[in-house]
Structure 1
Amino acid sequence: MDSPEPPDALLTMLGVGKSFYGVPVLSDVDIDVHPGEVHAVVGENGAGKSTLMKIASGVHQPDTGTLTIAGRPATLPDPRAAQAAGVGIIHQEFNLLPERTVAENVFLGREPTRRGLVDRRAMRARTAELLAAVGAEVVRPHDRVRDLGIAQQQVVEIVKALSLDARILIMDEPTAALADHEVELLYALVRRLQARGIGILYVSHRLAEVFDLSDRITVLKDGRRVTTVDTADATPEGLVRHMVGRELATYYPPKAAGAGPTVVSVAGGGNARLKPLDLELRAGEVLGVGGLQGSGRSALARALFGVEGFTTGRMTLDGKAVRPRSPRQAVRAGIAYVTEDRKGEGLTLSQSVLDNALLASRAATPRWFPDKARTTTVRELLAAVEVHAAGADQEVRYLSGGNQQKVVLARWLAMGPRVLLFDEPTRGIDVGAKAAIHELIRDLAEKGAAILMISSELPELLGMSDRIVVMRDGALAGELPGDASEEAVLSLATGTPHEVSA
């Protein structure tokens, strides 16, 4: 396979290899990016994408291979050297100070001065110019970062990189935390950056946006470059085959033939975030929840789990009145909650795989209950859901996103829940791991559990759900069958009319 060596590339990486503790992570990888090009990098978790991007941004140094920037050999011993060479990186988890303004974040550590004092007027003016250059005047230099939405914070990160004269921009899972309507802002931003001649290395698990935005796609697998193709010549099926090394006959498992009896019933349930609503969760089915970010989707799950419980209405579980006022009460009632913030709320990153998987059972059972019995059950579940780790004692922070999610699942499965609430269960997870999570969810439903699944990805929502309810402005906007169209979901989510063709 020919190595990419175009003479006009902004960045060229040839024969790059990297090992950690004697374990190869990258082997002989070639990649480049041209001015005004979006070059997407895809692959399963553990394929080497993050390591490759960290080498390009100076976080790691390659063991083998060369880097060339604008035709000149480059050595990047640290991120500051990479910035000086014109390489900027936008991490999935932002590096901003929430209490400071946009301008203060953009020029942090590089504040312009006048007569020995920070020239705030010049700093705000330059920030305003940069925001205008990317068409993001809605963000103002004097806004505090804590008051901005996720998409707007991402704009600040990009403008911060541009203030350093970045010619090469690395974007790592840029839409992972964005709602659908915010993704459109990112698309427009990427197009403006292209128009300015900036080369973009774009890492994403979402194949739809890869095809929407990229000019070329490089696939990594097991630390090696499998192929680099023009996006116009690629297909999703072909990319998946390259990524996972096998055919995926379908992205989603078969849906339920029919639902069982009602497990959870809510009548007039509401609180400070939710307007009174009626809802039923049935055994053996997946109830999908759609809607825009801030529509009340997560608030619904948190109310059912007792984090911010219902203050009005009536809730029953298997026909008996129940109103969890805390997660502990919900767990004891047989309700489990897989939060969307896997790292912030779902895991204790510094603890082991086993300790994380035991958190719920240790909290819900008496102190005198033998830990050995709990441990045996949880170890069996970790094996059953196929968690790939160096061992049960490995810190969970070092697992891939898909394996971290499986640890959370094993924790709740140990409780034998009747109801499982999934909030963005596959966010930030690669294609192969997504398929495994989907199979687990469907298997739980087939065994009689009642599943509520929130997803911002419309293909996933439609592919997994037996029924769909859509939230808007804290209220239940409507219900749709599992075979509804994306247009029908968006119509309810946005409150715009949708005409069904005859």
Structure 2
Amino acid sequence: MAVSPATMAAIRKSGAIPNAEFLLMAEGIRKEFPGVVALDDVSFRLKRGSVHALMGENGAGKSTLMKILAGIYKPDRGRVQLRGVDIRLDSPLDALENGIAMIHQELNLMAYMTVAENIWIRREPLNRFGLIDHGEMSRRTEELFHRLNIAIDPETPVKELSVANRQMVEIAKAVSYESDVLIMDEPTSALTEREVSHLFQIIRSLRGQGIGIVYITHKMNELFEIADEFSVFRDGKYIGTHSSKDVTRDDIIRMMVGREITQMFPKEDVPLGEIILSVKGLALGSTFRDVSFDVRAGEILGVAGLVGSGRSNVAETLFGVTPATSGTISIDGKEVAIDNPTTAIRHRMAFLTEDRKDTGCLLILDVLENMQIAVLQDKFVSNGFVHETAVAAACEDMCRKLRVKTPSLQERIENLSGGNQQKVLIGRWLLTNPRILILDEPTRGIDVGAKAEIHRLVTEMAKQGVAVIMISSEMPEILGMSDRIMVMHEGRVTGFLTREEATQVKVMELASH
């Protein structure tokens, strides 16, 4: 019989914790959502003082299992053991009080509160008058940050922090609960290499303190660098667990997708046509300046650069999100004024943003509503009426083409995995039949199988004569998919490389120039 969270928390506080072989264990877990079996008889075991990576395609069930272990979902069947004792977790607070903390891919801090207030919320130290002791709270935060080698002022409002520093605050908050199970969901998806290195130092330190860390990632290099062992899920089923020392990258891919992926970057040589897009001297205040380039029909122009180089700002300006302060944009040799996204769409431009949660998906709407939104201006509208049957058929066909895993078009998009959300957003823009396709981090947070599908799709668009601009922080993607690479550093273009001359070293030299 499973003990209550309160009983387990009391056992934990008393120090009378059983010395179990596994810190955390799940067996026979099943979880269903309407029309979908998310987990089917899944097992998982975490050792104390180890980093256990969780691998699998989007929709494989990784995040669902972790949300069960973090008290967010309740399993339909199966059992969870914590420190050798069966336990029932009824809420995220139950999990926290029992030493299980989860850091989500979409960070959940309160932007207008300070760092210290975010960390100690609901547990604020009080003075003798029963009021919050802000000095003590700041002191405790500094002590915690010193332990984790984090250099952030506790009194800084969270809204002023970079994504990397917000990630560090989330980790510190989890550690402040004296958690001995820490679940990290894609923690490096928006971090630079230096920030990733700092994060890994913290993880190794926590592992050395006996904390068990579950690390969800799609990045193979991270698995081999930080993980002691890994488990693979596929289509809601448990496939197996191995030591990271005993396998190769190809072994893991085969386990994840159940097949060989022989060509991750299916770039084909496409005859390039006329110049479709020409940009001259484009600038946006001090954000970027004097950006000039051309893109031809059938060409994939890769845009590389470190975080903060201005790549995404250029993309937003091309699409009219933030109109340029100077410079010109020409399409088919004619100068155009793009002052808002509606104008860009009329010029048959499409833009996949880098942040699918904040600027891409409308999370409370269904798949159909998310996919059709860009074509309801004119393509499927006449005399003010929407041809609903036609637009639904087009969206259904697009979902089939992109292999979107969803029970139906009426499923809320927030219930889909990150990779399937990304495919819906790509489908949204493909329905507009674009001539210029701007992709900002098109495969961020997406599994290896979905990446290969999206790369094939981009190649197909180029073959059809679409001019593609692809921004990516992943060097293999930039090198593998681009005809030419434009490199940026601190708001300016530092050089162009052809596909033949581009190497990782040359790109990085220009990116840090």
> Which bracket does the TM-score occupy, shorter chain normalised?
over 0.9
* Aligned-partner SS, 2:407: coil
Q: Which residue of the partner structure matches residue 498 of structure 1?
A: none
2: CA distance between counterparts of 1:151 and 1:172?
Answer: 14
Q: CA deviation at 1:50?
A: 1.1
Could you say if the C-alpha distance between residues 400 and 72 of structure 1 is closer, same or farther in structure 2, counting changes exceeding 3 Å? closer
Q: Which moved more, 1:327-336 or 1:389-398?
A: 389-398
Q: Which residue of the partner structure matches residue 264 of structure 2?
A: 251
Q: Which residue of the partner structure matches residue 11 of structure 2?
A: none
Pick from 275, 297, 307: which aligns with 1:262? Answer: 275
Q: Which residue of the partner structure matches residue 360 of structure 1?
A: 374
Q: Which residue of the partner structure matches residue 9 of structure 2?
A: none
Q: Which residue of the partner structure matches residue 33 of structure 1?
A: 46
Q: Which residue of the partner structure matches residue 469 of structure 1?
A: 486
2: CA distance between counterparts of 1:66 and 1:380?
Answer: 40
Q: CA deviation at 1:240?
A: 0.9
Does the Cα contact within 8 Å between 2:36 and 2:407 map onto a contact in 1? no
* Aligned-partner SS, 1:267: strand
Partner deviation per Cα, 1:67-104 (whole Å, 9 max, x = no partner): 22223333222222211211111011111111111111
Does the Cα contact within 8 Å between 2:270 and 2:463 map onto a contact in 1? no
**Mapping 1:87-106, distance limit 5 Å:** 87-106=100-119
Could you say if the C-alpha distance between residues 69 and 478 of structure 1 is closer, same or farther in structure 2, counting changes exceeding 3 Å? same
* 1:118 to 2:139 alignment: no
Q: Which residue of the partner structure matches residue 307 of structure 1?
A: 321
Q: CA deviation at 1:48?
A: 1.1
* 1:333 to 2:347 alignment: yes
* Aligned-partner SS, 1:343: helix
Q: Which moved more, 1:446-455 or 1:219-228?
A: 219-228
Pick from 162, 173, 176: which aligns with 2:186? Answer: 173
Q: CA deviation at 1:340?
A: 1.0
Q: CA deviation at 1:199?
A: 0.9
**Mapping 1:15-414, distance limit 5 Å:** 15-20=28-33, 23-115=36-128, 116-136=130-150, 138-272=151-285, 273-364=287-378, 368=383, 371-372=386-387, 373-414=390-431
Does the Cα contact within 8 Å between 1:256 and 1:284 map onto a contact in 2? no
Which letter does structure 1 place at the counterpart of 2:137? Answer: M
Q: CA deviation at 1:370?
A: 5.3
* Aligned-partner SS, 1:249: coil
Q: Which residue of the partner structure matches residue 454 of structure 1?
A: 471
Which letter does structure 1 place at the counterpart of 2:369? Answer: D
Q: Which residue of the partner structure matches residue 485 of structure 1?
A: 503
* 1:494 to 2:512 alignment: yes
Q: CA deviation at 1:453?
A: 0.5
Q: Which residue of the partner structure matches residue 432 of structure 1?
A: 449
Does the Cα contact within 8 Å between 1:332 and 1:364 map onto a contact in 2? no
Q: CA deviation at 1:203?
A: 0.6
1: CA distance between counterparts of 2:110 and 2:212?
Answer: 27
Q: CA deviation at 1:7?
A: 4.6
Q: Which residue of the partner structure matches residue 5 of structure 2?
A: none
Please list every run of 5 or more consecutive structure 1 residues that lacks an aligned counterpart in the other structure: 1-5, 496-502
Q: CA deviation at 1:21?
A: 5.0
TM-score w.r.t. the length of structure 2 is: 0.91
Could you say if the C-alpha distance between residues 62 and 397 of structure 1 is closer, same or farther in structure 2, counting changes exceeding 3 Å? closer
* Aligned-partner SS, 1:15: strand
TM-score w.r.t. the length of structure 1 is: 0.93
1: CA distance between counterparts of 2:422 and 2:85?
Answer: 42
Q: Which residue of the partner structure matches residue 22 of structure 2?
A: 9
1: CA distance between counterparts of 2:412 and 2:117?
Answer: 36
Equivalent pairs, count = 489
Q: Which moved more, 1:462-471 or 1:485-494?
A: 485-494
2: CA distance between counterparts of 1:23 and 1:77?
Answer: 22
2: CA distance between counterparts of 1:85 and 1:410?
Answer: 43
Could you say if the C-alpha distance between residues 228 and 345 of structure 1 is closer, same or farther in structure 2, counting changes exceeding 3 Å? same
Q: CA deviation at 1:297?
A: 0.5
Which letter does structure 2 place at the counterpart of 1:342? Answer: R
Does the Cα contact within 8 Å between 2:270 and 2:298 map onto a contact in 1? no
2: CA distance between counterparts of 1:393 and 1:86?
Answer: 38
Q: Which moved more, 1:457-466 or 1:393-402?
A: 393-402
* Aligned-partner SS, 1:114: coil
2: CA distance between counterparts of 1:250 and 1:403?
Answer: 21
Cα root mean square deviation, aligned: 1.9
Could you say if the C-alpha distance between residues 84 and 359 of structure 1 is closer, same or farther in structure 2, counting changes exceeding 3 Å? same
Does the Cα contact within 8 Å between 1:337 and 1:420 map onto a contact in 2? yes
2: CA distance between counterparts of 1:294 and 1:194?
Answer: 31
Q: Which moved more, 1:36-45 or 1:17-26?
A: 17-26
Which letter does structure 1 place at the counterpart of 2:368? Answer: L
Which letter does structure 1 place at the counterpart of 2:60? Answer: A
Does the Cα contact within 8 Å between 1:310 and 1:323 map onto a contact in 2? no
Partner deviation per Cα, 1:371-420 (whole Å, 9 max, x = no partner): 22545444433333333322222222222222222222222222221100
1: CA distance between counterparts of 2:36 and 2:365?
Answer: 23
Which letter does structure 2 place at the counterpart of 1:265? Answer: S
Could you say if the C-alpha distance between residues 411 and 127 of structure 1 is closer, same or farther in structure 2, counting changes exceeding 3 Å? same
2: CA distance between counterparts of 1:71 and 1:351?
Answer: 42
1: CA distance between counterparts of 2:507 and 2:186?
Answer: 25
Could you say if the C-alpha distance between residues 24 and 331 of structure 1 is closer, same or farther in structure 2, counting changes exceeding 3 Å? closer
* Aligned-partner SS, 2:370: helix
1: CA distance between counterparts of 2:38 and 2:395?
Answer: 30
Partner deviation per Cα, 1:159-210 (whole Å, 9 max, x = no partner): 1111111011000111122233322222222122122221100011122212
1: CA distance between counterparts of 2:125 and 2:169?
Answer: 18
* Aligned-partner SS, 1:276: strand
Q: CA deviation at 1:23?
A: 5.0
Could you say if the C-alpha distance between residues 364 and 44 of structure 1 is closer, same or farther in structure 2, counting changes exceeding 3 Å? same
